[in-house]
Amino acid sequence: MAQMLDHGDSKSRPLFRRDKAAVTPSSAPDLVSEADQEFFHREGYLVLPSLIDSDFNTRLIDELDELVLHRQAKDHRMIVSYEQMGLLTSHPPIIERLKALIGPRFAMHHIHSARHEAGNGGVNWHQDYEQFPQTNRSHIMVHVFYYLNGLNGTVGDLLVLPRSQNLVVPNGGIGLFGTHDLPGSLVVDDLPPGSAIIVHSALWHARRPKPGGEDHARYFIDVSYCQHGVLWPAYPRIAEINTTALEAGLGREGDYDFLYDSDQFFERRPLDESFKEHNQGSIALQMKGVGVDG
């Protein structure tokens, strides 16, 4: 197991090199304050240092190590079938905050878990909003980035471009910017263990490779959720994953069953060919001004 980072008084240090105002104190109330809600909707992200208590955090790290061993042995399991990571998908301190931000109802899109080792190549600028094609931001999808052993300027830094969530671009359409700073972009390279960042999925972000971290792999989990109101593109196994989650009790005696609702999604692939065939010129003309309610 990797050692936990000892950040000492890191909670009082700025999380961003250039924007102290972005820090949300870990003593924040369970529900998101009005100011934080306003900040999230304007800037597109919200930082929650040390959100996960240290016992749960240690169990998650241990379990992520197990998952890495399983993957090395080509034993690929659904992440919701792992007890601790499954529970993370309905972690009440996050779900209650999300209710305030994008509620009352939303559904889990996915959970990804990874251990980024020293020398990790990073990820170019991109955004992760699920929509095909990308045309609007009428409803909100969020990713919750969990940094189980924090960020300390090694392995990879998180880059975000605040307020970019409403600039409609294809998911990889900004990849040509690599992992360079962009005008107004921020670097997140100092977070205590157990921290979470809620980001609007359409926020432009990147992971910049950094040297070091040979004895501090980066424990990273992201869980994403889609606001009710429209159907969202999903992957073929979502129904199986949701059934597994509900059977494992991740709905927490029914309170959070709504997170595992496959009816909020559609499978995109069967529509791709037909869409490519008809996608010429302006989509508005193809729709003839008729919306889903028309």
Which residues are near Fe ion by CB under 5 A?
A: 128
Residues 6+ apart with CB under 8 A from 95: 256, 259
Q: From the CB of 180, what's the least distance to Fe ion, in Å?
A: 17
Q: With beta carbons less than 8 A apart as the criterion, state whether 95 and 223 touch.
A: no
Strand-pairing partners, residue 107, are 226
Nearest-angstrom CA–CA distance, 57 and 41: 28
Q: From the CB of 145, what's the least distance to Fe ion, in Å?
A: 8
Q: From the CB of 104, what's the least distance to Fe ion, in Å?
A: 26
Beta carbon nearer to Fe ion, 22 or 141: 141
Q: From the CB of 126, what's the least distance to Fe ion, in Å?
A: 6
Instruction: Report H helices in 103-197.
Output: none
| 39 phi, psi to nearest 5 deg | -60, -45
Beta carbon nearer to Fe ion, 128 or 130: 128
Beta carbon nearer to Fe ion, 7 or 218: 218
Cα→Cα distances 56→42, 53, 194, Å? 31, 6, 9
Q: From the CB of 152, what's the least distance to Fe ion, in Å?
A: 20
Q: From the CB of 278, what's the least distance to Fe ion, in Å?
A: 29
Torsion sign across C-alpha atoms 81, 87, 88, 94: positive
Beta carbon nearer to Fe ion, 140 or 250: 140
Nearest-angstrom CA–CA distance, 65 and 80: 15
Q: From the CB of 245, what's the least distance to Fe ion, in Å?
A: 22
Beta carbon nearer to Fe ion, 147 or 256: 147
Instruction: Report H helices in 33-79.
Output: 34-43, 54-72
**Tokens describing residue 239:** 């129904």
Nearest-angstrom CA–CA distance, 213 and 189: 13
Beta carbon nearer to Fe ion, 93 or 122: 122
DSSP summary character for residue 290: -
Beta carbon nearer to Fe ion, 7 or 143: 143
